Chains A and B, each alone.
Chain A
């Protein structure tokens, strides 16, 4: 359980970072408009 929890916590953090990276890439490389 301890090892599963450690890996899960790391995975959640990395997934959040992937999500943030995708959104940022979209925003910064599409000329300034997001969500449109």
Chain B
């Protein structure tokens, strides 16, 4: 047992205690599943950022950057953040308006179809479980490496912590602890990156010298390290892979269950619009800093064998002990915050999409039963995930990518069409969703089983999105929109009276206008903090 282990255990205990305190305010299914629909902007943005930032980011993305795929990650992140901006306006506020408990319920209501709701629920549960596995495994690996405590004991401790927190306090607890965790990981990361850069000789000096060094220069270039890098052997292939992945993850940020479900908890539609720029810039900055820090670590240790441990190595070897503890607690918080979100969504979908619609209960007993079923489902999902995590499957990063890709290719085209098109039918939505899900899953399974590296243009997520879109269009063209579907679609476009308050509308429009400058800020950050020092370094060679 060391100071890192104590820090992590204290953090987990604190989150559990906070969850238990919050659980006393849970009175109804509405409180348990959608936090009473009262969440303000900072809680929505905080939860989105915390749910996004998982061990996949601190271990997977950091490893990709350390190995030489920085530009590819930046392309992916830049494009994916567009998803927050357009997702809030073109999907999120309609989701909130529909007053449903889950996103599958939204699809079911929009298309007046129970099969569509069920299929969406199944894809959500599969995605969440796969993602939960990657997070649990990542956090377990982190704790084991840092503390030398047995890996199995570590994941059992983590699983108990996030299960107790989620089962007792539901979405309300998840929302509040998510925001706390987002704060912890942001502060920890900012402080850690500043110290790493300072100890390496300064941010700009480090980048200039890495750019000037022939052995590390390619890592900062647009093509990435094509000789020893993790992806393809030509720069343009890496760039296209980054664009493909960025489009897939744009879908995740737009409609992914662990991202857009936060909008169901917003106190109004204005809150959703205002949270979008905060989420977009927050996620971008966290990713950019982690990616660049991973490259700068080459100044201390250029030959890490397990590159996914790069930030852990930095915390234990570059940072002062106190800051190292804070950074590792931040990474742990990132993992737990994502895990609680996934687990709460699994419980919500099992209860509200699969079991409760089959029961015909009075409102009072329905509330109690719904919460009980959700809690049982959460415990079961946690136990199943724990079982698989004990087997310790390899490649956290690729498991995480699979989870995200399934969400995007099952839901993105249908979600966009559900708002933008009046011609899409329930049959089209069902078939599109099914084909998107199956094509992505089968292709990824094939490449995993046969150990075949897919060509750069054949990203399973992109294939799934294209299949989903084509099938959606064809089947919708061959079938008719029913009267009840037309009515459901029309009802979705009626803005509720409470959203029309003039002062709030003005403020929201100002936020939306200010969002235009997020793009300018992103370009400025990239040019000032990466491109300029990189070119200065190149010019000295």
Contact = CB atoms under 8 A, between A and B. Distances in A.
Chain A binding site: helix, strand, loop or mixed by DSSP? helix
Contacts of B526: 5-6, 9-10
Which of A11, A13, A28, A35 has its CB near the most chain B CB atoms (within 10 A)?
A: A13
A33 B493 CA distance: 6
A20 B79 contact: no
Contact of A2 (B82, B89, B222, B422): B222
B242 to A, nearest CB: 9
Interface stretch (B52-60, B340-348, B505-513): B505-513
A9 B75 contact: yes
Contact residues on B (Cβ < 8 Å of other chain), bracket: 35 or more
Nearest to A18: B516
Contacts of B535: 2-3
Given A20-B85, A21-B513, A13 B527 contact: no
Interface residues of A, number: 31
A2 B524 CA distance: 13
Contact of B86 (A5, A10, A14, A16): A16
A36 B372 CA distance: 42
B540 to A, nearest CB: 17
A7 B90 contact: no
Contact of B512 (A7, A14, A20): A20
Interface in B72-93: 74-75, 78-79, 81-82, 85-86, 88-90
B519 A13 contact: yes
A21 B30 CA distance: 31
Which of A12, A27, A29 has its CB near the most chain B CB atoms (within 10 A)?
A: A12
Nearest to B270: A28
A34 B493 contact: yes
Contacts of A24: 89, 273, 508-509, 512
Nearest to B506: A28
Interface in B85-139: 85-86, 88-90
Given A9-B526, A20-B86, A28 B78 contact: no
B531 interface: yes
Contact of B89 (A20, A31, A32): A20
A28 B531 contact: no
A11 B493 contact: no
B248 to A, nearest CB: 15
A18 B82 CA distance: 11
A18 B514 CA distance: 10
B479 interface: no
Given A9-B74, A10-B526, A17 B519 contact: yes
Interface of A: 1-3, 5-7, 9-21, 23-25, 27-29, 31-36
Given A10-B522, A28-B495, 14 more contacts: A5-B74, A6-B531, A9-B75, A9-B523, A9-B526, A12-B519, A13-B85, A13-B280, A14-B520, A17-B85, A17-B277, A31-B500, A32-B500, A34-B495
27 contacts: A2-B71, A2-B221, A5-B239, A9-B74, A9-B75, A9-B79, A10-B519, A10-B521, A12-B519, A13-B82, A13-B85, A14-B516, A14-B517, A14-B519, A16-B85, A17-B515, A17-B516, A17-B518, A18-B516, A19-B86, A21-B509, A28-B495, A28-B499, A31-B500, A33-B495, A35-B422, A36-B493
